[in-house]
Chain A
Amino acid sequence: MKNACDRLPLYLYNEMDEQERIIFEKHLLSCPECRQSLEIFDEIQSAKPEYSAPQAVIDSIFSKTTRKKSFLKQPAIYKTALALAACLLIGVAAVFKNTQKTIEYSNAYNVSPISYEEISNMVSNISSLESINML
């Protein structure tokens, strides 16, 4: 009964109709190979690991899809704030570099911080650049 054995997987997953199932169960009584396969199948089912994706992966999926923050989609105010932050960083870096070059290390603290006027100049430069881009 080679053909009957071939149908075993359908029996294992309960994918036979009533009639075929009854016939197959008769076959099972007379077929030690199928009975052994049935045992192996049960073992596979209980040993087979099941996983769930780590929460970090789920979060990362969301942050790359539904919660994606695109720079272009940000409101103008955030862009300006970002630009300002960038200017400050550049400003500080520039000052720091100059400090190292020209002033004795011990005098470094005398350098005056970047003035609001300078920042506002930088920001207006950036804004005008942005408005050029927008055209």
Chain B
Amino acid sequence: MMKNCEDSELISKFKDGDNKAFEEIVLRYQAQLYTYVISMVKNPETANDILQDIFIRIFKNLPKYSEENKLKHWIFIIAKNMTMDFFRRDKTRRALPLETQEDDEMSILDTMPDKTPHPLEVIITNDRKELVRKAISNLSVEERELIYLKDSFTFKEIAEMQNKPIGTLLSKFNRSLQKVKKIISEKEPEAYNEECMR
């Protein structure tokens, strides 16, 4: 069964002309990649398009790919590049600053939020969860990216992939936690203060 195959086996099967091996790679990574992309672009339709482009690129380049035990890394690097391409295109199209500046975020957040609820934000499970979700989606692209990359990689692996010191990633992660905390406490002051006073 393909399901039990290691990534490296799937790659060599695919290189031998077995298309089912590629389809298994798609099924194996689609959810992780889709969640990762959607968390960054915050729009399901855009994520659909990007996900297709990612797998088409993987399909085209896999025959030349040689580091067979690092497929996941490679796939996520492609995913990141293609998502960033989208931001670049989107930026030129809309002539709006999209690479969020760390310091400006809070003020941007204050001015733009509630008028146009994002499709993802409309799905309400319960208020508190929803609030946390909103807080996450108000983080910068890079901060959101890190939070979602953590589902698939260790800090050490991400540091290697992004060629960054691990300390930088740790402080970015801590900063994200602080921001989420701050956003929640601003939007739900009573509940949060109560909790803190205990």
Contact = CB atoms under 8 A, between A and B. Distances in A.
Asked whether A and B interact, the reply is yes
Interface of A: 5-10, 13, 15, 36-37, 40-41, 43-44, 46-54, 57-58, 60-62, 64-67
**Which of B20, B51, B151 has most A Cβ within 10 Å?**
B51
A49 B52 contact: no
A6 B172 CA distance: 10
Contacts of A9: 155, 169-170, 173-174
Contacts of B128: 43, 47
Interface residues of B, number: 46
A15 B34 CA distance: 25
Nearest to B23: A66
Given A60-B52, A61-B55, 6 more contacts: A37-B178, A44-B180, A50-B151, A51-B31, A51-B47, A53-B34
Nearest to B196: A36
A37 B26 contact: no
Contacts of B132: 43-44, 47
Given A7-B170, A9-B174, A52 B30 contact: yes
B66 to A, nearest CB: 20
A44 B35 CA distance: 15
Given A9-B155, A57-B48, A37 B177 contact: yes
A44 B23 contact: no
A119 to B, nearest CB: 37
A52 B155 contact: no
Nearest to B166: A10
Nearest to B176: A44
Nearest to A7: B170
Contacts of A48: 133, 136, 147-148
B170 A10 contact: yes
B170 A37 contact: no
B171 interface: yes
Interface string B1-44: 00000000000000000011011001100110111001100000
Nearest to A46: B129
B154 A15 contact: yes
Contacts of A50: 31, 35, 151
